Amino acid sequence: MERLVERLEKAVERLETVCQGPGMCGDGSSKGVAQYVQAFDALLAGSVAEYMKISKEVGGDVQKHAEMVHAGLMSERALLVMASQHQQPSENAFSSLLKPISEQIQVVQNFREKNRGSKLFNHLSAVSESIPALGWVAMAPKPGPYVKEMTDAAMFYTNRILKEYKDVDKKQVDWVKAYLSIWTELQAYIKEYHTTGLTWSKTGPVATEGAKSPSAPPAGAAPPPPGPPPPPAPAPTSCSTDDSASRSALFAQINRGEGITSGLRHVSDDMKTHKNPALKNQGGPVRSGPKPFTAPKPACNANPSPKTSPKAPALLELEGKKWRVENQENATNLVISDTELKQVAYVFKCTNSTLQIKGKINSITLDNCKKLGLVFDDVVGIVEIINSKDVKVQVMGKVPTISINKTDGCHVYLSKNSLDCEIVSAKSSEMNVLIPTEGGDFTEFPVPEQFKTVWNGQKLVTTVTEIAG
């Protein structure tokens, strides 16, 4: 019994920590708080608190990023509280209520983009790729699968963290587990309380943008007084009387039955445009039907266009053990020659350029590049090509693995010493591998993009499908 009490006390302490002090998550009791809000508080006190704790221990950019994630979760909690006290609003009003969450998602993602040179870039990327899961509140009727999809997007980076720190730093491994557990528990929470979408109250006023959830008072303070009553409805004007008279006259005419058509004029064939084309060439006003509905344009653009953003400076520098090659345009003579086995190269947003890496290096990553040519000698780890277009990679020595992900247009030139290289591809197209011949030329082989999967009675069997020409 004592152990149970001790565990409950620790849970309360963690909840208060997550809520940034007593009173920030409510008045300290569950009275008047919906059950699914209490369940969300339990998630905050559990996996979220553990994630915040380990992120603080890791420190640096990871800690700052975690604070932004926490702010997004608290915005989501505020929406849950509102939903528990209000009826479902109109679509436009709901979009306004979602704005704090969407803005915080943007803050988290922008932090990753501004810190691409961070030593913990994989951590920032894992969070940035999965944080849109907070938008599940708008994903009816399948919010749960949406969260899983966003979680899967983070797996690419969390696997890289596990691979890098598995036998080196247990704290980093614990960070991955704590972070992923947030989304795993959120999926279970959604399945129990919001299976087909955010659950709104059946009673109470309809939620509006102005109906913000009141901030909880500090512990021991009296609740804030209720807001002023809504303004009285405007007094009816004479136009309402005219409308009533018009409606009465309309219904009176409809009730005449067949007699309603007695006032219509007969249209002869010479008055019909499809039988008398000359009428189309005559002048006169042309009546048109109502314009189709178009969504109103937003007053301001939340995301400024790339044209207005300042151009990032071009980089080619060694930062610790990482070579950073970024924002290069029309540079055809980029060379990295002073390399070591422990160094890695990260090439980001380079366009219409050529890069040569001499010597033996640990790994190379091409990210968001276009029309880039890469020539390298030896890589002992992996060459990764991500989010790129029209790139050419040539191996002069050896490389064990080449990974191509979310890339359109990729030519890989292998050397005689690298014919045993493994090429792993996903969500990519127009990939070709060129094999050297005895005469010094290359023979081109396309990487399959279309597959056929069948059930053989025991398991799924996938084979390459030949496209008929």
Mean pLDDT, to the nearest integer, of 20-26?
39
Higher pLDDT residue, 21 or 358? Answer: 358
Task: Tell me the pLDDT band of 244, cut-offs 50, 70 and 90.
Answer: low
| pLDDT value at residue 435 | 94
The answer to whether 171 and 57 have CB atoms below 8 angstroms apart is: yes
Mean pLDDT, to the nearest integer, of 38-56?
95
Query: Is residue 308's pLDDT more than 70?
Result: no
User: What are the b/e assignments for 364-384, b being 16+ CB within 10 Å?
Assistant: bbbbbbbbbbbbbbbbeebbb
- The burial class, CB within 10 Å (0-12 / 13-18 / 19+), for 34 is middle
Query: Is residue 469's pLDDT more than 50?
Result: no
pLDDT digits (tens, 9 = 90+) for 334-377: 999 889 988 999 999 999 999 999 999 999 999 999 999 999 99
Highest mean pLDDT (candidates 223-227, 277-281, 450-454):
450-454
Query: Is residue 221's pLDDT more than 60?
Result: no
pLDDT digits (tens, 9 = 90+) for 126-144: 999 999 999 999 988 889 9
Query: Is residue 226's pLDDT more than 70?
Result: no
Query: Is residue 42's pLDDT more than 90?
Result: yes
Question: What whole-number distance in Å separates Cα of residue 248 and Cα of residue 260?
Answer: 15
Higher pLDDT residue, 439 or 395? Answer: 395
Query: Is residue 207's pLDDT more than 70?
Result: yes
pLDDT digits (tens, 9 = 90+) for 51-71: 999 999 999 999 999 999 999
| pLDDT value at residue 263 | 61
E strands along 311-362, which residues? 315-319, 322-326, 334-336, 344-348, 351-361
Mean pLDDT, to the nearest integer, of 426-450?
91
| pLDDT value at residue 140 | 85
Return mean pLDDT, the chain.
80
Torsion, CA 165, CA 169, CA 171, CA 176, rounded to 10: 10
Among the listed ranges 39-48, 84-93, 140-149, 289-298, which one has the minimum average pLDDT value?
289-298
Highest mean pLDDT (candidates 200-204, 258-262, 291-295, 406-410):
406-410
Total-model pTM: 0.48
Task: Tell me the pLDDT band of 252, cut-offs 50, 70 and 90.
Answer: low
Question: What whole-number distance in Å separates Cα of residue 76 and Cα of residue 208?
Answer: 16
Partners of 455 in beta bridges: 460
